[in-house]
Structure 1
Amino acid sequence: PWPRGQDGPVPFVALAQFFRRDIPGLACGPGGADLVQLFRCPWVHGPYPDRRYTLRWRDAMRTERAERFLGTPPEAPLLRWEHELPEPCVLHPEEVDTYPWAEGHTLPASLIARIDAWDDARAAEHGPDAVSYQYDLSIPPGWRIGGCPTWASTGPMAIGCASCGSPMRLLLTADGYETDGGSHSWAPLEDRDPDLSGTESIPGSPSVARPTRLRFGRDQDLHVFVCPAEPGHAPRWVLA
């Protein structure tokens, strides 16, 4: 994809690509497409300023057998901040169970009250390293396919398809941080200091906490929603 810059078209920055063969839960795209790619415009737009993204679905077999490829990958234009250009990473997908964000109408009010009481009791007994539902049990940090969205900065939102009104399904969550002090239980064992425990065992180095080097909004999650009724309908982007 090529957005228009002041001196002509500039390439979108490639953020991620996922194959359905690697992630069985990945929904098919239009026409049964099994490869999805996420791009971001290198420029910001509007008075706020806003980021613009694009989602491309492809047939993996046809893409891998293409007769022509670019000899030299397109170079991104000069960017203002380091976190605007992703650090190349290899993904190692791991399947985990996720549970809804406990706020608003995402769960019955009586169940949310029980979760809050359980969290308070754990915190009183174990202090800052206590396991909590929201950070340690419901939704892991980092990049995720499917599962439940986080609503830490906005509160729960109903996301409907702009074309047909169907409730949309979460396809992808992009997160600038793979771990933090509030969700330390998700940190891989190989990234921990074996001589320490709790939050102190997690190194604060960028290579561990922010391996992709990216940021979304003011350290928010970028949720990409798609229409389950018609994969060809436009996706929606939500920072939360």
Structure 2
Amino acid sequence: MPFVGLAQFFRRDIPDLVCRPDGADLVQLFRCPFTHGPYLERRYRLRWRRARDTEHAEGFLAAPPEVPLLRWEHELPEPCVLHPEEVDTYPWAEDDTLPASLIARIDAWDDAQVAEHGPDAPSYQYDLSIPPGWRVGGYPSWASTGPMAIDCASCATPMRLLLTAEGYETDAGSHSWVPLEDRDPALRGKASIRGGQFVAQPTRLRFGRDRDLHVFICPADPGHAPHWVLA
């Protein structure tokens, strides 16, 4: 069964996109349309290509492969155009991702914000460190699993986060990242989000219960097998 294309990224659009030494400057992410095994696991494929080769290739398919009958609506992605925006991100603050003294200061700041602003108060984890949605590079979010050491299965080198795919671009816990055009300036906090499901979930995809799919690659040799983490 043909894999379903989820995304493709060109280095010309994302200058910091990690590329392979052989000149590949296009990354494509695919997913099998069906789940596998007793735990309903997903199977993904990462493909590196040279953009110039794909744009001038001969023998393109006259029509895309037929999409099989799917069980759930979120199995098939909604076509989207990406508009990359560069933002600063910071590590998830838990365990040894940051010095213990700094994590203590972050926790104290979070508590002070809640005391002053109530339930819509900003927090480090959701409003300052890691934005929701699809991301290239940056730091992984460990909201469900807690921080994990991800090492290459071939050479034991600590792996690098290539990209994160997420079903939702925004949620109640990260409303500060919502684009201005999708916010009501007369309201504050999560009440300011407008646009409904099309804004919150533009791709229509889901990545398991925890929603984040992290794709790690080996910095020593990008040809080594990538590692997939749901977190």
What range is the shorter-chain TM-score in? over 0.9
**Which residue, out of 98, 120, 137, partners 1:129?**
120
TM-score by length of 1: 0.94
Q: Deviation of residue 65 (structure 1)?
A: 0.5
SS at match of 1:31: coil
In the alignment, which residue of structure 1 is the partner of 2:10?
Answer: 19
1:173-188 to structure 2, matched below 5 A, reads: 173-188=164-179
60-69 vs 188-197, which moves further: 188-197
Cα distance per residue 1:31-89 (max 9 Å; x no partner): 12100000000111111110000000000001101122110111221100000100000
Q: Secondary structure at the match of 2:22?
A: helix
Matched, 1:56 2:16: no
Please point out which of 29, 38, 52 is paired with 1:38.
29
Which residue of structure 2 lines up, in the alignment, with residue 237 of structure 1? Answer: 228
What is the TM-score normalised by the length of structure 2? 0.98
Deviation at 1:204, TM superposition (A): 6.1
Please say if residues 35 and 60 of structure 1, whose CA atoms lie closer than 8 Å, have aligned partners that are also in contact: yes
Query: Is the 8 Å Cα contact of residues 38 and 55 (structure 1) preserved in structure 2?
Result: yes
**RMSD across aligned positions (CA):** 0.9
% of aligned pairs identical? 80
Q: What is the rounded CA distance, in whole Å, between the counterparts of 1:42 and 1:177 in structure 2?
A: 19
In structure 1, C-alpha distance between the alignment counterparts of 2:42 and 2:218, rounded to whole Å: 21
Give matches, 1:97-112, under 5 Å.
97-112=88-103
Count how many residue pairs are aligned between Structure 1 and Structure 2: 231
* Corresponding position of 1:5: none
Residue segments in structure 2 that go unaligned for 5+ positions in a row: none
Partner of 2:71: 80
Paired position in structure 1 for 2:130: 139
Deviation of residue 13 (structure 1)? Answer: 0.7
Contact in 1 for aligned 2:144/2:210 (Cα 8 Å): no
| Separation in 2, partners of 1:137, 1:50 | 32
Structure 1: segments with no counterpart, 5+ residues: 1-9
Q: Which amino acid aligns with 1:57?
A: W
Quote the residue 1:91 is aligned against.
82
